[in-house]
Amino acid sequence: MIKKHLLYTLGFLIICFSNLSVAAVSGQGGGQFHEGYFGIIEINNNGEAEFVVTDRVPLIEGQFYGWVIKISPGFVKVKWKEVFELPEAPQSWGAEETSGDLVISGDRKVSVTEEEVFVEDGYIANYWNVVAGDPPGDYIMRVYVNDHLVETFRFKLTNN
């Protein structure tokens, strides 16, 4: 596992709305709404990266995948936490494992990442990329914003 933080501008994000999720987030200004998406990054015919909503991640080294959450107006800075559950322990969680950026469970199947970030163009995001030794199977990412569970993304890392 290698974690990558990529922030894409609004013009850079292409989001399919077929898997739209809406939930309430309490905090600044009372209840706030967000839209959350899980997907992969693909390169289009023009050589530009696109975010494509899907629940299937190709088991191909270097394939980026992750989530994007649109935050309601009024939020300038938020604290997010991602609880990432794998079907079995990976060979490695990457450099972040030793840098202290991740908290890894005793069975090595769950990582927890927490960050406080500025909301850029109304979005927050987090991405990972597939590396050798990542196990195929069913994955779960739970994303909390300002200590409230706002999304549970379920996806499959697959050869098909």
Mean pLDDT of 47-68: 96
Q: Which amino acid is at 135?
A: P
Q: pTM for this structure?
A: 0.79
> Is the Cβ–Cβ distance between 55 and 38 less than 8 Å?
yes
Name the residue ranges covered by the structural domains of the chain.
2-158
**If pLDDT is split at 50, 70 and 90, which confidence band does 95 have?**
confident
- Does residue 108 carry a pLDDT above 50? yes
Encode the chain in three state secondary structure.
CEEECCCCCCCCCCCCHHHCEEEEECCCCCCEEEEEEEEEEEECCCCCEEEEECCEEECCCCCEEEEEEEECCCCCEEEEEEEEECCCCCCCCCCHHHHCCCEECCCCCEEEEEEEEECECCEEEEEEECCCCCCCEEEEEEEEECCEEEEEEEEEEECC
**If pLDDT is split at 50, 70 and 90, which confidence band does 74 have?**
confident
Residue with tokens 């890894």: 104
The reported pLDDT for the residue numbered 11 is 32
The reported pLDDT for the residue numbered 2 is 53
> 2-158 is classed in which CATH architecture?
Sandwich (2.60)
The reported pLDDT for the residue numbered 89 is 95
The reported pLDDT for the residue numbered 9 is 30
Give residue-wise pLDDT tens across range 11-55: 334 333 333 333 334 344 445 557 899 999 999 999 999 999 999
Rg (alpha carbons) of the chain, rounded to whole number:
15
- Does residue 86 carry a pLDDT above 90? yes
